[in-house]
Amino acid sequence: MITKTIEKNIEKMRNIGIAAHIDAGKTTTTERILYYTGKEYKMGEVHEGTATMDWMEEEQKRGITITAAATRCFWQDCVINIIDTPGHVDFTAEVERSLRVLDGVICVFCGVGGVEAQSETVWRQADKYRVPRICFVNKMDRVGSDFLKVVAEIKEKLCFEAIPIQLPLGAEQDFCGVIDLVRMRAYEYAEKEEDKSLGSKFIDIEIPDKYLAQARLQREKMIESLASHIDWLMEKYINEEEITEDDIKRAIREGTISVKLTPALCGAAFKNKGIQPLLDAVCDYLPSPADIPAVEGVDPDKEVKITRKALVEEPLSALAFKITSDKHGDLNYIRIYSGKLTQGQRVFNSRKDKVELVSRIYRMHANEREQVEEASAGDIVAVVGLKNTITGDTLCTKHEPIVLEQMKFPETVISMAIEPKTQADKEKLILTLSKLVKEDPTFGAHTDSETGQLIISGMGELHLEVLKNRMLSEYNVDANVGAPRVAYRETIARKVEIEEKFIQQTGGHGQYGHVVLLLEPFKDSQPVVFEDKITGGAIPKQYIRSVEHGIMETARTGVSGGYPIINIKATLIHGSFHPVDSSDLAFYTAASRALRSGVEEAGSVLLEPIMKLEVAVPEMYMGDVIGNLNGRRATITELDFRSGVRLIRGLVPLAEMFGYATVLRSLTQGRGSYSMEPFEYRPAPAEVYSRVA
């Protein structure tokens, strides 16, 4: 039984996520973890729709994870908070916001598939937030599985030092356990028909003779790799001093926490093998909140950087990273970085400059809630009562404010029209859309100014289909939905200088705004970059803000084709004002008109979203699949071969990929699969421009 003392010991806490490519076995691994830690009394199965963490109706129907689900369990003397994340790229925002608040992650790889398309995306997201990770090579019981080959792929494709600390005991259908290279022992699991314990019991044995030579060789390689990253171990290694089991564990932990290396383990979650050693590795090698650097933020009053350590004595700082809506109201998931939060406490939303009331605090287990009186540094909890807090907002105390770094999400690439079937559904639809937009930062809804249609947008066909089905099943909204449409963008072809005056005379004060803008193509992390080069006070500072506002708003709504403008830089180089007639509105309007005139003069270029594509097909169908992709304007960049399957990688316009899942099934008799993720925007060909402009 875990005592309250251990629960409150921050050094015994682990905040981890489980992330991977779709179908690598994340949710199955999580289910086994919950079973072996005693959190669940029976194992849920994804294919049966009984997985605890896939609690939504859409998840159970489709057999995939759609929303990140949180839970809490205990192993050894550690408290483990787990977030199970989706693998499909359409729900990548769920992975992004989870990794933002986690201290460690288990990256699951398929023993056959190895490093797949979404594995790379997840890895990049973990790199972005410098999250320490453990690699778990799953499905070692499958034909064609190869642990060391997958580890080599991690090193090659992800450019990261993966160090095997285990070896499989047996191969493919004969896989029966793991060899621990740290202890030089083996864990053997009973075969399924004999195993009434469902993998909860295993035998700790000597390494069988036929595996001993390879185990010794790999252990030596493991120590060499560790020594190349850990200075004190290198000294011991060079001086030929004894390197103990504790030395190896300490070195692995140091290397993992400093994100210099990742330990690689193996197992077969579906066959209940290798999960307990994985849990041991989580406790031994992944950091506690006390091990990670103090969180950085900005003092909103003084605009200087400040840090907060993971201590209860520090002032409160917490980040809201996820919102779910239900009949009881909004549930805000927060990570507490410092200080303490109690039920009934008033907190300060430093991004919105508003005071909020925390009416209740919950620990979550998928969709089940356990009410608690308080939570402190290191905890991940859900709170009820926040009216104005959304994803990315910081909660703190008003007298010691801090703003933590916000999360950035990719732009939507697909949209479709939606309209209520009856007038009674109209209000319900608008209310439902506002809830879904608040929940999902990659979902958008707006009214088209020209057609008056309500447009919803998202990250892919599956994303919009899932949200549409949720509206129908969860919120009982009956609506007609149009065909998916691509989210095109516009930019300019060349640099132009444009002058615009807005002058209006009325009975009283008039309006006067005069700007000279330099517009040029410019690629940056921001879609539109504004620069002020006004000298000598030609335009007062307060009006320059209105100029910027006018440019940004007009760029968002579009100019010639009504598509948002991206990849441009607008420089304010000159202008003039009138001491009486000038106003914010006048300069806003002048800037808006200048941008419109400038885009027309520079020549508008239509941009279409290009997707990174990976198709896996048996060799016999490769010719047909490539021929079909060529007809979809795809550029094939790489052909690879893995475990009897051909991998076709390339770039393809999103507009050409609607309904591709059905076509691929038809071409490969249901044996092909594919994944896509947004890559970049590129100029569309003339025939596309004439069709959509």
Which pLDDT does position 407 carry in this prediction? Answer: 82
Which pLDDT does position 673 carry in this prediction? Answer: 79
pLDDT at 562 over 90: no
Which pLDDT does position 70 carry in this prediction? Answer: 83
pLDDT at 443 over 70: yes
Longest Cα pair distance anywhere in the chain, in angstroms?
A: 100
Which pLDDT does position 41 carry in this prediction? Answer: 56
Mean predicted confidence (pLDDT) in 108-137: 88
Which pLDDT does position 232 carry in this prediction? Answer: 95
Give, in order, the Cα–Cα distances in Å from 243 to each of 94, 156, 214, 215, 379.
42, 29, 19, 16, 36
Residues 6+ apart with CB under 8 A from 405: 296, 297
Mean predicted confidence (pLDDT) in 102-127: 87
Question: Residue 664's CB: how many other CB atoms inside 10 A?
Answer: 22
Mean predicted confidence (pLDDT) in 216-234: 95
Which pLDDT does position 60 carry in this prediction? Answer: 59
pLDDT at 148 over 70: yes
Which pLDDT does position 377 carry in this prediction? Answer: 92
pLDDT at 483 over 80: no
pLDDT at 497 over 70: yes
Span 237-264, pLDDT tens digits: 999 899 999 999 999 999 999 999 999 9
Residue of higher predicted confidence among 68 and 343: 343
Mean predicted confidence (pLDDT) in 643-648: 80
Residue of higher predicted confidence among 650 and 464: 650
Nearest-angstrom CA–CA distance, 391 and 393: 6
Which pLDDT does position 66 carry in this prediction? Answer: 64
Confidence of residue 5 (pLDDT cuts 50, 70, 90): very low
Mean predicted confidence (pLDDT) in 639-666: 85
Nearest-angstrom CA–CA distance, 286 and 107: 12
pLDDT at 556 over 60: yes
Percent of the chain clearing pLDDT 90 (strictly above) = 47
Mean predicted confidence (pLDDT) in 86-110: 83
Q: What region does 596 belong to: left with phi over 0, alpha with psi -120 to 50, or beta?
A: alpha
pLDDT at 147 over 60: yes
Which pLDDT does position 3 carry in this prediction? Answer: 41
Mean predicted confidence (pLDDT) in 109-117: 87
| Of 540, 559, 550, 491, the residue nearest 517 (C-alpha) | 550
Confidence of residue 1 (pLDDT cuts 50, 70, 90): very low
Among 342-351, 596-605, 639-648, whose mean pLDDT is lowest?
A: 639-648
Gyration radius of the chain over CA positions: 28
Mean predicted confidence (pLDDT) in 559-585: 88
Order of all β-strands in the sheet with 162-164: 69-75, 78-84, 13-20, 104-110, 133-138, 262-266, 162-164
Span 296-330, pLDDT tens digits: 999 988 889 999 999 999 999 999 988 887 666 78
pLDDT at 411 over 90: no
Average per-residue pLDDT for the chain:
86
Nearest-angstrom CA–CA distance, 436 and 470: 9
Confidence of residue 287 (pLDDT cuts 50, 70, 90): very high
Strand partners, 135: 107, 264
Phi then psi dihedrals of residue 28, to 5 deg:
-65, -40
**Distance separating the N- and C-terminal Cα atoms of the chain:** 66
Which pLDDT does position 51 carry in this prediction? Answer: 55
Which pLDDT does position 357 carry in this prediction? Answer: 93
pLDDT at 185 over 50: yes
Which pLDDT does position 68 carry in this prediction? Answer: 72
Crossing angle of the two packed helices 622-630 and 660-667, in degrees rounded to 10: 150
Would you call 324 helix, strand, or coil by DSSP? strand
Phi then psi dihedrals of residue 587, to 5 deg:
-75, -35
Residue of higher predicted confidence among 54 and 285: 285
Which pLDDT does position 58 carry in this prediction? Answer: 57
